[in-house]
Amino acid sequence: MAENDFKILLIDEDKKVHLAFQQLFAGKFNVQAFTDPEEALDWLKKNRNTPVIVSGFNLPGAGGLGFLKTSEKFAPMASRILLTGEKSVEVAKRAINEAGVFMFLLKPVAKSELISAISAAMSHHAKIAQERALLEKTLSGSVKLLIDMLALFHSEAFRRTTVMRQQASRLAKYLGISKTWELDMAIMFSPLGEALLPKHVLSRYHAARSLSAQEREVLAMAPGQTRDLLKNIPHLEKVADILYLGGRGYDGSGFPEDGPVGEDIPLNARVLKLLTDLWFASAEQGVDAAAFEALKINAKQYDPKLLELAENVLLTESGEPQPTEVISCYIKALRPGDELVDDILSEGSNELILSRGHQLTLTTIRRLSQYHQVAGVRQPVRVRRLVTLIEPTKEPLIA
C-alpha cells in the first residue's frame, strides 16, 4: 500500500490547523479534516481501518476526549492523538485514562514534532495490526480444531456453518465490515448453544411446535450459557456478545427477552440471526426465493435493509460456480474440502456420525479413520469434490 493511501482523521474547530496538516502531509498521507464531531464519526464508520485519529480538545458536544473515546468503537486499532493548548496535568491524565490516547501534543506544535508524532502513530498502528493478525490466525486455528471436534459429536448442528460463513463473507463486502473475524468466529460457534440443548427441545423448537414452560426456560438459558462459555477466553468477549444476541429479533422478539431492539442490536448479531433463520428456511439444495418468502412472513424480526440486501446478493450474485463431481470413496481416500453428500453412519448400529453437507477437514478425516478402526464406518462414502482443472501447457507434452 502506498504511503498516501493511509488516512489521517483530523477534527479541530480551527481551520488553520486543517490547512497546516494538509500542507505538511500533502503527497504523504490522506488527511480528512472535520469541524463537526458527528460528521467525523459518520466518516469513520465507513473508514474503520483509519490508522491515526487526531482531535482537538475543545469540540462541541462531548469534547475532544469524548470524541476520541467514542472513536475507539469504530476504529479500535487506530492511534489516537489529542491536540490541545491545555497544559493542566488533569487533562493529560484524563486523555490517557479515559480516552486511551497514544500521544498528547501541546499547541503550538513544531512541524518536526508533528511529523515525528504522526510517524510514530503510524508505526504504532502497524505494530498493533500485525500483532492482531497473528493472534487472530493463531486463535482461528485453535477454534477450527475445537469446532471440528464438536462437529463429530453434534454433526447436524454444526453442518450449516460452512454455508453461513460463505454467505456472511459475501454480505460483509456490502455492509462495510472490513474485519470479518468476529462474525466468522460467531458463526463457527453458533451451533454451540444448540449442542447444549436436549435434542427433543431443539427439534420441537425448529418445527415451530408449542413448548412447555419448562422447555421454554431451558431454551431461554442457551444464549447465556454460550456467552458464559466463551467470555472468559481472551479476545472472544465480543464473539460471546454476538452469540448472546444472535437470536434477538429486530422487533424485540426472541432471546434474550430484555435485550436491545432495532439498530441497537450489533450489526454482526443481526447478520447471524438472519443467516441462521435463512438456513432453516432453505431447501436441501440451498437458499432460494422461497426461503426469503418464508422469512418475510416474520419480516419484523429482521433488519429490513439487511433482509433486502441479503436477498439481492445471495440470490442474484451467485458468481461463477466451481465445477464439482460426486464420487464414492473409502475413508482413506477422503480429502479436506470434500462435502458429504450422504450421512456417515456407523457400520453396525447405523448411528449418525457426520451429517450430509458437512465439509471435511484434516481433523475430521483423522477422527473418522480412528472411529472406523474402533467401531466401523459404512463405506464407501459419497462426497462432492472440486474438479481440478489442468491448465493446458504451452510446451508440448511429447517432443
What's 359's domain CATH number?
A: 3.90.105.10
Same domain? For 301 and 340 the reply is no
* Domain-located, residue 228: yes
Q: Give the domain extent around 347.
A: 324-386
pLDDT at 394 over 60: no
Scan for cell 432495532, then name that residue: 262
pTM comes to 0.59
More confident residue, 265 or 191: 265
Same domain? For 228 and 209 the reply is yes
In terms of C-beta distances under 8 Å and separation of at least 24 residues, what long-range contacts does 101-110 make, across chains too?
Answer: 101/68, 103/79, 105/81, 107/83, 109/83
Among 296, 297, 318, 315, which Cα is nearest to 307's?
296
* Domain-located, residue 399: no
At 10, which CATH number? 3.40.50.2300
**18-35 per-position pLDDT tens digit:** 999 999 998 889 999 999
**196-245 per-position pLDDT tens digit:** 777 777 777 666 667 777 877 777 788 888 888 888 777 788 899 999 99
Among the candidates 294, 316, 338, a domain finishes at 316
**135-149 per-position pLDDT tens digit:** 777 777 777 767 776
Query: On the CB side of 240, how many CA atoms lie within 13 Å of its CA?
Result: 14
Domain count, the chain: 3
pLDDT at 105 over 80: yes
**In the chain, count of helices (H) and strands (E)?**
16, 10
* Domain-located, residue 187: yes
At 270, which CATH number? 1.10.3210.10
Mean pLDDT of 342-364: 84
Same domain? For 236 and 290 the reply is yes
Same domain? For 167 and 232 the reply is yes
Same domain? For 43 and 173 the reply is no
Helix (H, G, I), strand (E, B) or coil at 190: coil
Among the candidates 286, 316, 346, a domain finishes at 316
Looking at every residue in the chain, the average pLDDT score rounds to: 83
CB contact set of 299 (below 8 Å; sequence gap of 6+)? 307
Residue 387, number of CB atoms within 10 A of its CB: 9
Work out the percent of the chain whose per-residue pLDDT is above 70: 86
* Domain-located, residue 173: yes
* Domain-located, residue 23: yes
Residue 264, number of CB atoms within 10 A of its CB: 11
Same domain? For 271 and 331 the reply is no
Same domain? For 355 and 381 the reply is yes
Same domain? For 218 and 97 the reply is no
Same domain? For 270 and 348 the reply is no
Same domain? For 161 and 297 the reply is yes
Model confidence at 98, pLDDT cuts 50, 70, 90, reads: low
Helix (H, G, I), strand (E, B) or coil at 2: coil
**266-304 per-position pLDDT tens digit:** 999 999 999 999 988 888 777 888 999 999 999 999 999
* Domain-located, residue 42: yes
Same domain? For 71 and 199 the reply is no
Say if residue 128 is exposed, middle or buried (CB neighbours under 10 Å; 0-12, 13-18, 19+): middle
All three cell numbers of 251, joined, read 422487533
* Domain-located, residue 148: no
Among the candidates 316, 335, 365, a domain finishes at 316
pLDDT at 265 over 90: yes
Same domain? For 372 and 353 the reply is yes
pLDDT at 186 over 60: yes
pLDDT of residue 99: 63
Calpha distance 301→281 (Å, rounded)? 14
* Domain-located, residue 140: no
Q: How far is CA 354 from CA 115, 281, 304, in A?
A: 59, 21, 35
Mean pLDDT of 60-70: 86
